[in-house]
Chain A
């Protein structure tokens, strides 16, 4: 029997690690992967909340459906985002986010 709290704390830790990766890394692909990590952390708490509801509750499965929608949106985001990454890498010859500074003063 695992308390729901444990899952939620794990979700918070994974989200924090995703934020840290987002801040530290300079490679645009790794930054993109850290976004996926944060989405996964949120999914974990969605499922934990959903499964902790009593079986009689009519909205018990809503959280798991939200997870499915999040996964679909993440897949669409990955497709478009990686297309943008390929385009910028082709134009700039670099994957470093600091080299993409056209809008910088």
Chain B
């Protein structure tokens, strides 16, 4: 077993354990910390594939900014353990087989049709960040400008939603 394969299995196990822990933890703050584990493991996988810029963005934006926002909101609302109801038992018996079926279907499709996909380029072949930025500012310049507009709208929406009504 080669070294990249071992690293892959370690990171993949870390990601799956984190995702399972996200489901099983009762307290939202523990779920948030498990999600951070998943995101860091995925960043490691991106590095393993040679997508260094995506890995850096994953750590900074997902592991940093977005998860800080989540943890902040959990602490702000003082979220406690969630309560169980009759409906959540229904979700357990109805939802578990359906989620398993979906996973099986997706994985089977990947295995069946994935063999025609060529394997990853030689390890160490990094995706050039310079090319990525050139592409971003030429071919994809309109979507790029649209995202800046989207962020502006999101900031305004978050401000309007979170402010207290004056009465």
Complex Cα distance, B29 from A16, in Å, reads 22
Interface of A, secondary structure class, is helix
Q: Among A18, A67, A95, which residue has its beta carbon within 8 angstroms of that of B19?
A: A18
Q: Which chain B residues (99-133) contact chain A, with CB distance < 8 Å?
A: 99-100, 102-103, 106-107, 109-111, 114-115, 117-121, 123, 125, 127, 131-132
Given contacts A7-B49, A76-B154, A26 and B118 within 8 Å (CB-CB): no
Q: Among A5, A24, A71, which residue has its beta carbon within 8 angstroms of that of B117?
A: A5
Complex Cα distance, B16 from A36, in Å, reads 15
Min C-beta distance of A89 to chain B, whole Å: 5
Interface range for A: 35 or more
B82 touches A40 (CB 8 A): no
A67 touches B54 (CB 8 A): yes
Contact indicator per residue, chain B 18-30, by CB within 8 Å of chain A (1) or not (0):
0110110000100
B157 touches A21 (CB 8 A): no
A33 touches B35 (CB 8 A): yes
The winner among A2, A4, A32 for most chain B CB atoms within 10 A is A2
- 20 additional A-B pairs beyond A75-B66, A75-B151, beta carbons within 8 Å, are A1-B5, A9-B111, A14-B15, A19-B102, A21-B23, A23-B91, A24-B23, A24-B95, A24-B96, A48-B49, A51-B120, A52-B121, A60-B127, A61-B127, A67-B57, A68-B57, A71-B58, A83-B162, A95-B79, A98-B85
